[in-house]
Chain A
Amino acid sequence: MELRVLGRRLVVDVDDGDVVRWIAEHWDFPATANALDAEFTIEVTGGESSASPDLTFEDPRGTVTLTITGAGAAIGIAGTPFRAWTELYRTIAEAMSASGIILLHTAVITRGDRTMALCAPSGVGKSTTAMAAAARGWTPLAEDLAWLDPTTLRIFGADRRINLREPSLGILGELHPGIDPGRPRRIKYEVSYDQLGGRVWASTLTDVVDLRRDDGAPSAWTDLGRAEIVMTLLRSTGAPAMAANRDRLSAQLASVARRLGGSRLVIGSTPLPL
Chain B
Amino acid sequence: MTRRWTRRDGVMSTDLGNELVVLNSQTRAMHTLNETGRVVWTWAQHGLDVVVEQLCTTYAIDTDTARSDATELLDQLVAKGLLDEIG
Q: Which residues of A contact B (CB under 8 A)?
A: 226-227, 230-231, 234-235, 238-239, 243, 246-247, 249-251, 253-254, 257-258
The answer to whether A254 and B32 have CB atoms under 8 Å apart is no
How many angstroms from the CA of A230 to the CA of B16 in the assembled complex? 9
Count of residues in B whose CB is under 8 Å from the partner chain = 15
Q: Which A-chain residue is minimally distant from B33 (CB atoms)?
A: A227
Interface check B23, CB cutoff 8 A: yes
Tell me, yes or no, whether B58 is within 8 Å of chain A by CB: no
B12 touches A246 (CB 8 A): yes
Given A231-B21, A234-B23, are A250 and B12 neighbors across the interface (CB < 8 Å)? yes
Whether B25 sits at the interface, judged by CB under 8 Å, is yes
Tell whether, in the assembled complex, residue A234 and residue B13 are in contact, meaning their CB atoms are under 8 Å apart: no
| B62 interface residue (CB < 8 Å to A) | no
B16–A257 CB distance below 8 A = yes
Residues of B within 8 A of A254 (CB): 14-16
Instruction: Find B23's partner among A226, A239, A247, A257 (CB 8 Å cutoff).
Output: A239
B14's partner among A230, A235, A238, A243 (CB-CB below 8 A) is A230
| Residues of B with C-beta under 8 A to A227 | 16, 19-21, 32
Pick the 5 closest A-B CB pairs, nearest first: A239-B25, A230-B21, A250-B14, A227-B32, A246-B12
Closest to B15 in A: A254
Most buried by B among A226, A227, A243, A247: A227
B30 within 8 A of A: yes
Tell me the minimal C-beta distance from A256 to chain B in angstroms.
Answer: 10
Q: Which A residues touch B15, using CB under 8 A?
A: 250, 254
In the bound complex, CA of A254 to CA of B12 (Å): 12
A residues near B16, Cβ cutoff 8 Å: 226-227, 230, 254, 257-258
Question: In the complex, how many angstroms separate the beta carbon of A240 from the nearest chain B beta carbon?
Answer: 8
**Could you tell me the distance in whole angstroms from the C-beta of A105 to the nearest C-beta in chain B?**
13
Q: Nearest chain B CB to A44's CB is how many angstroms away?
A: 26
CA distance A254 to B16 in the complex (A): 6
Cβ contact within 8 Å between B30 and A250: no
6 pairs of residues in contact across A and B, judged by CB atoms under 8 Å: A227-B16, A227-B21, A230-B14, A230-B16, A243-B9, A254-B14
Chain B 13-39 per-residue mask, 1 if CB under 8 angstroms from chain A, else 0: 111100111010100101010000000
**Closest B residue to A254 using CB positions:** B14
Known: A226-B16, A227-B32. Contact between A234 and B10, CB under 8 A? Answer: no
